[in-house]
Each structure stands twice: as C-alpha cells, then as structure tokens.
Amino acid sequence: MGIEDYGGGPGAQETGVLVVTTNDVPGYRVERVIGEVFGLTVRSRNLGSQIGAGLKSVIGGELKGLTKTLVETRNQAMDRLIDQAKGRGANAVLMMRFDVTDAGSVGTEVCAYGTAVVLASAST
C-alpha cells in the first residue's frame, strides 16, 4: 500500500458531495440543513491478519494487515455516508466524524456521521 492508500476519502469531484470536518466552508453558505446522515459497517477480523498481528505484537511494528482492513472499513463507511447524503438531496456533509467501536469478539464497527446540507455560493 502506498501513502495515498492510507487516508482521505473520495473528493467532491468524484462523488458530487463535499465532506468536511468543519462547521462551514469558506465561500459557501448553508442554504438548507437536511439533518444527520451516517454510514455504518461492521467488519469481522480476518484470521490471517489476526495471526500476523499476534506474531507482530511479539517483535513490534505496524500491523499492516489490520491497517489495510481499517482503511477499507473507513472508506466503506464514508461511501455509505455519501450515498445517504446524496439520496437525501445534499451536496455536502459538515462536521463529519468517525466513531470506531469494538464489536466484541466479532469485529470492529465503524460509523461515519455528520450533518447533510445544501451549500450555495456565498456570492449568490
């Protein structure tokens, strides 16, 4: 995995929905608040990754298999957030956050959530 594989969701040009972690976007105003949207996924732990993680914990270092799984899981949650926002007529999601929870011995729950809005150019 290269550095581009480790972070950042899709851009607004790709999805039609701008996702930011801020309350506002410079140069735009909130025309309409649609409400909370979220994307949720629960991923089970891969046996191979678990064995590798166990061995790696003995000698130290990054758990690359688990890192890859978490990146894929966050991206899936983000995709679902964007789909929900688009489906409700939003062109942006403000205050996006991730919540990660251990789902017991089953896996990891990742929720991407934020406020779906319609943004308009501040000059109009």
Q: How far does Cα 27 stand from its chain's mean position?
A: 24
**What's the confidence (pLDDT) of residue 71?**
85
Number of domains forming the structure of the chain: 1
Q: Residue 46 burial by CB count (10 A; 0-12/13-18/19+): exposed, middle or buried?
A: middle
Residue range 69-118, pLDDT digits in tens: 888 889 999 999 999 999 999 999 999 999 988 877 777 889 999 999 99
Question: Residue 78: what pLDDT?
Answer: 94
Q: pTM here? A: 0.81
What is the extent of the structural domain holding 108? 3-121
Q: What is the CATH number of the domain that holds 94?
A: 3.30.110.70
